[in-house]
Every structure is written in C-alpha cells, then in structure tokens.
Structure 1
C-alpha cells in the first residue's frame, strides 16, 4: 500500500470504496443492522473500523456498509481479493442475524418510505441535516449503492489534466457499470436507474449536483468560485449550523476533494462481486491514462467540451446503457474512434479496451472485463435473467444468485449458474 503521507501524483495511487446492502437471507428484505455488525466487531458504534488494508464504515442508512481501501493503494491488480476477503468475513458475521450482503446498485424490491432508518450514532448530525433539508426517504437517498474511485493529483496542472479526462469519459461509464434495471419490483426501462434517481435527489438545490457531468473548470480557484461557493451559498439558509458547508456536499458524478488532492468518481453502480468492480475500475483508469497523455486528442480539445454537451450523452447512456447510440462525432474523435458509421457505447468500450489492453496485468480482471464486453453490463444481464415482466419471486431468485456470486467472487452470467 502506498504511504498515505506521501504526495501522490497522477496514477500513483488509488482509493476504492464499495457499498453493500444488508438483507435477510431468505426474503431479501433490507435489514438496518450495520451498527450491530460494527458493534459485534469492535464493541462500539463507530463510523470506521480499520483492518490495515481495508476499512469498514457506515453510510447514511443503517442497511448499508461500506468497504474501502485504508488510504491509497499502489495498484488495482488483485485488489479484489482483499475486498472479497472482507465480504466473506462480514457474511459470516451476519449469519447469526439470518442476514447477508447483497450486491448491485439498488435493491429491486425495497420500499424506501417504510424501510429507511438513518445511522443514529457517530456523525449523525450530518445525516440529520440532509434528512431535514431533502427528506432522505426515497430511492435517490436510501436505495443506491455505488463504487467510488479516488484518483490523486498535485497542483493545478495535474488537476486540470485529470479533471478534463474524467469529464470526457464520465458520460460512457454506465455502459460498463449499470446494474440497476429494477426498482419497486418492476423493470424501469433504464439501464442505470440508480443514476436517474441520484441526479434528481437534490433537485430543490440544483447547484449541488449540477448536470452530474462537472463544469469545464480546470484550476482550484475556478472550481471553488464556480462550483463550491455557489453550492454553499445556495444551501446556506437551509443549513444555518453549517453542517453541510464542505466539499462532500458536491454531488456531481465526479467531485474534487482538494483537502486530500483527489478527484472522486461517483457514477459507478456496484457490481456483482469485487472482481467485477475492480475490472471496471481498471478499464476506466487505462482510458484516463490515455486521455491525459493525449493519445487521441489534445487536452485543450477535451477541455473545450461543456457540461451540457457531455450531459446529453450521459442521459442517453443512463437510458440505453451499452446500446446507446453515440452521435457526436467530435466526442468519438476524442477517443480515436472517428467514423461515419453508428457507434454504440458498447462498441466504443470494446475499441477502448483494445487500444489500452497493455494496462491489464491481472488475468482475472481481464477475464471479468471480457464477460462485461461479451454479455453486456450487469443491468443487461439481470434483465435477461428476469425477463421483461418479472414476478417478485423471479426477481428474488435472480438476486439470490447475485448474492451467491458476491459470496463466491464470481461473475454473473444469466445462462449459467454462479
């Protein structure tokens, strides 16, 4: 693991976070017992429990536990093994409650208006502030689990390069990572329903999430002026205690964390197992490295794209996933995919993986990524398994299989058993 005190430059370290639901083993009903899980391990209701390489922490709601790297790691290769070890440890601990961890970015059957319980212990003042202002009952708050990737930078020059690259690739990320085709027991018709509810969950104060794709700002001073200060001012009258006047209030799909010199990517749905998550992260990092090095286009060209243009592409990919048709030829040219033919988001990812294949030095991760490229994102695979008009019983059967995939660290392929 990298020394967290050392100043890390571009791609010298990676911080990864994965959020999991806690559910009943038989009926999949959400169980608000994250605090019990943590208490059983350390004898106190703490917000963070450290185990060396991996830490556990609470989230807004009691039925979610987050696993994260304890500081930045030097490589993503084989990182899934460390997460997998803790998934199995937690499942063993949850057995006495007839509970288990459930993957994917949203529970397909949860009623957030009746099932939501907020974390009541350490640091709960922040959660209560969110609840008072936005009402955290609802899928956009209580039923969305994601994987976050934190990437370091030093100074304005590195920040500008990294922010430009992330903004460019962000609209096509759900083509790989979408895992939420079902809410309220119904196929929603969206590949990434989690992102759709996420982008609306703070609509009362639009400056908090913006267009999800961040604005075209490439220095710390410009970011603070155009994004952070506008956001703080917009919420000030609703947050008189100042609980939310921090960088974490920013809900764009990628947020700058200047206090730790990193950009956090937040648009990724959780996958079926840590192996799948890390495979997706490796693909993203490989493309970002290529963009930063100006492999296909100059950085000035990347910076010239405004958020409205990129947000339009993102909305298409949220709806259609890998099948989304990418019509913007200038956008395709930024990835070296200039063509007169129709290009889908899935086709673009196959092109990008081929172009950056030298980055993948872990065969397990490469094979997992190939499953996604061959069979589609998890959202598509779930829909194939449930059918277009699933019953609650058939949904439960598929998600039980997904829970088995999580426990075993295996990819979900609908035509086979995990």
Structure 2
C-alpha cells in the first residue's frame, strides 16, 4: 500500500541538505517515524506496545553489555560473580542486575500484550502476514535468549532448569541424545554449557534487534493496522506519526518506566524464584523445578503428556510445546475471515477471550507442582489451545456473520466522537 498523500522530506538547513545527499539518514527517520509517515487516526494505547518492546530491548542490551564485563562464565565463578561481585563490588551493579533481570519479565509482558492485541485486531491477516511471521521469529529468539540468560545465573533453579529442559531433547528418536550433548557440550550442564549459553545470550539480543528492523520495515510497506481493521482510504483517515503518536508513545513510555522503576527499586525479587539464590548443586534436586514465569504456559503443555501412545509421552510433550508456538506461523491462513478486527466478529471475540483465559490457566498450571489435579487441568487447556487454532477459529471464519463494518476509519471515529466534537 502506498501513501501518495505523505509529505516529502525537504531539508532547509545547508548542513541537513548536504547530509541528506550524502547519507540520507534524516530522510529515513522522517519517513519511518516522523511527519512523513501517515498512521491511522484511530490507534488506541494498545498500539504503544511495539515502541515499549523496543525500549525494553534497549534496556536489556545496555544493561547486559555492562554486566557481561563483570560476569565470570564458569561453574566455579558464575554464581559468585552475579550475587557477589556485581551486587556488591561494581558501582551500581545491584541496579544493573535487577534492571536486567526484571527487564526480561517486563519485555515478555509487553510482547505478550502485543501478541494478543494482534490476535484480537487481526493484525496477522493480509497484507501484514510478513509482519506477523517476523514477530513470531522475534518471539522465538526472545525465548531462547531468556532461557540461556536464566541458566547462566547458575543458581539451583538455573542448573536444574537446564538439566530438565535439555533432557527433553533426548526423547527425539535416534538423534535426541546427540542433540542434548551438542547443546550442553557434555553429558550434564557444566563449564562448556555455561560458555555456550553465555556467548549465545550475549549475541542473540543483537539478532533480535536486526529482526525488529525487518519487522518495522515490513510494517511500513502496508502501513499499520487499526482497531476497526478497515483499510485507510485517504488523507482524512490518517495523521502524521509525529507529533501525534510520538507524544502518545512518549506518555506510554513514561508510564512503563514508572512501573518498571517501582519493581526494580521496591520489589526486585518478586518475579524471581528464591531457589535461584542457592548455588547450583548437582547432588541436590529442588522439590519443585519450574522455569521463569513467562515460560509457564508452554511448560504446562510440555507436562500435559503423561502416557505413551505410538510415541513416548516425553516426545509428545516436546512436539506439543514447540508446536504451540510454530502454530502461530500458520495463523494468517488458518483464519480465513476477510474481517480483521474482532470488534465486528462476535463469535471470534468470545473465542478470543476464552483463549486468553485458557493461556492464563496454562500459566498457572505450569508454575504449580506436578500433581494430578494440575496435570489434568493442563491436558484440558492444552487440548483447547490447539483446538482453538486448528478447529474453532477456521469454523468461525466460515460460519460467522459479522456486524456491519464502517465505510472508513473517519466514519468510525466520527460515530464515536462526533457528538462530542460537534458540541465543542
């Protein structure tokens, strides 16, 4: 989609004209996030979360670079370097460590809201399939980076989390044990695994940053989706990104940083696990091994398979866990409804909120002990998760009768705020 009504960049100052001719960075910024980029005029605050995700990644990269300068990537020194040297001997080390650890949780909170916003408003539908696919790639890279970062702290939960999660790869017939040994660099988590995970944990955020650039690039071709899901029809449906949405994003960023600061300064350990303040001990197994909270829904799906059926239960769990994420790649083609926004799809809207509740219950089960009650509940919720995407959503797309769409974004905005505008 092209925007013929977008303003062209015309530098006035001699220095800016010279720079624009030699290295057109000002033009790039102007067209990407400035007045040269028209945006639908009805975006709500859920569209802030893309910018917040970028801010969260920037915090992680900056704090991570400084922390890496003081980290000792060995089984003998990793735990002491994190909980001793960094926390006590490095200037503001405690702040950097808490900001980095909690920053990962906030990054996932932002991205989960961003994903569910895309699901609700149909941002995965044509012509934005590539934007969605790149977003799923970013999510997978985030999960890998977060897992490796959790391991290198080398506390009890870190060590046993690595032991359990990598152990599931051994369920793959024929090559499973070879893959596990290749991942760890040995038969159990030790110095080799720490060095590998630390190297990848340092590298992958920059890969994520590159994928985000592609994500934004892909977004700028069709333009942003909007709450109505209706395509923009002219200049009357858009406003310049700057100053309208830079101001809105700026306000959202201030709120985000305020909440982030409250957690970092007053509740820095709330989102962590107390067992991770115990040094890793291969001879002492924790009573209840759990990953970080943002992996709980997928961990519940992994644990939901308890009986062998053709394949071993462990292998079914691994396939289901990865399949629950890879399924998102096919979502643009599974949901064939031409209507994007669930605002105008009553049945799809109900199914969406059931999915949200289902994922929340999976998260609760994933963080709970592996008792029979939670296992059965995980099995029910895991079954619904796959049914939602593979059966329910395609059936709704074929049978649902949507409510009437507005003719344009402007019509929808005026219908909602026209009376107020007229009164003034």
TM-score range relative to shorter protein = under 0.3
More strand per residue: 1
Of structures 1 and 2, the larger Rg is shown by 2
Q: Which has the higher helix share?
A: 2
Q: RCO higher in 1 or 2 (8 Å CA, sep ≥ 6)?
A: 2
TM-score when normalising by structure 1:
0.25
